[in-house]
Amino acid sequence: MSRDVALSGTLVLLGAGKMGGAMLQGWLDRGVPPGRVVVLDPSPPGDIARTIARHGIRHNPALDGLERVEVLVLAIKPQNFDEVLPGLAALVSHRPLVVSIAAGRTIAGIERHFGEQPAVIRAMPNVPAAIGRGITAVVANANVTAEQLALAQGLLEAVGEVVTVDDEDLMDAITAVSGSGPAYVFHLAECLADAGVAAGLPEELATRLARATVSGAGELMRSSGRPAADLREMVTSPKGTTYEALAVLMAEDGLKPLLTKAVAAAARRSRELAR
């Protein structure tokens, strides 16, 4: 069950690219009044620029004239933080809740830019947010009130599910599982198509079968709410074709150790990039 977005001040979105744009659309769809939103982005992509214009959303206004800034969402690339955040100094006195979705930017690294004891939430969304079907993990610092956390959860639920964790150290593993995870699934579809070609199918047919299979299986898992293992058992008859394939995939040197290695590599890289 998703929360309402109970906004009483101004919501500033810094960076209206793929992720920021998806959130903006989600907020508007959920009835956030466009008059409460300010977008800061020198050149948002065309579709998002049109959304901003159509709703009369304030775009790149002077920061010192803004009425109470309640939330500031940081959705620029992590590598732009050090160059861009000092330019937001005019917002510090509003003591906004700062919500960052930037990969690898730690709470301590964000706090430095926002004065005394700022309320900071670090969030890790993933790319299905673009269709409102992402999952975002959030961790808050000690200055975030229960109301602020609920507000951030409501804002992030506009693009999918939200889970809250208490330990920021988990963010590296979360990044490795759900942040990077959609790419693993896309690669699974590629491998399944290639395997189909190796088994004698024309490439176009194999690609179509693999794509529909991966997306259909994902949709079934979501809509049924059943554990993945139950669904797997449901389609595996003893000694049948699926059984034979799973004997390969579930062998000691099968998919699990490979994925464990891949997730560990991503988590390690996330730790290296963190600042």
Ligand X SMILES: NC(=O)c1ccc[n+]([C@@H]2O[C@H](COP(=O)([O-])OP(=O)(O)OC[C@H]3O[C@@H](n4cnc5c(N)ncnc54)[C@H](OP(=O)(O)O)[C@@H]3O)[C@@H](O)[C@H]2O)c1
Give the footprint of ligand X on this chain (CB under 6 A): 14-20, 40-44, 75-78, 80, 84, 101-103, 124-127, 179
Residue nearest to ligand X (CB): 17
Q: Among residues 15 and 154, whose Cβ is nearest to ligand X?
A: 15
Give the shortest CB-80-to-ligand X separation in angstroms.
5
Q: Which residues, 6 or more positions from 29, have their beta carbon under 8 angstroms from its beta carbon?
A: 132, 158
CB of 72 to ligand X, least distance (A): 12
Which residue number, 94 or 206, has a Cβ lying nearer to ligand X? 94
- Tell me how crowded residue 271 is: count the other CB atoms within 10 A of its CB: 15
Determine the Cα–Cα distance for residues 221 and 38; give it in Å rounded to an integer. 37
Considering the complex, state which of residue 17 and residue 132 has its C-beta at the smaller distance from ligand X.
17
Closest distance of CB 137 from ligand X, Å: 10
What is the smallest separation between the CB atom of 65 and ligand X, expressed in angstroms?
Answer: 18
Cα 188 from chain centroid (whole Å): 20
Query: How many other C-beta atoms lie within 10 A of the C-beta of residue 241?
Result: 9
> What are the start-end ranges of the E strands in the chain?
10-14, 37-40, 58-59, 69-74, 97-100, 119-124, 134-140, 160-164
For ligand X, the closer CB: 123 or 206: 123
Judged by DSSP in three states, 4 sits in: coil
From the CB of 147, what's the least distance to ligand X, in Å? 25
Based on CB atoms, which residue is closest to ligand X, 80 or 93? 80
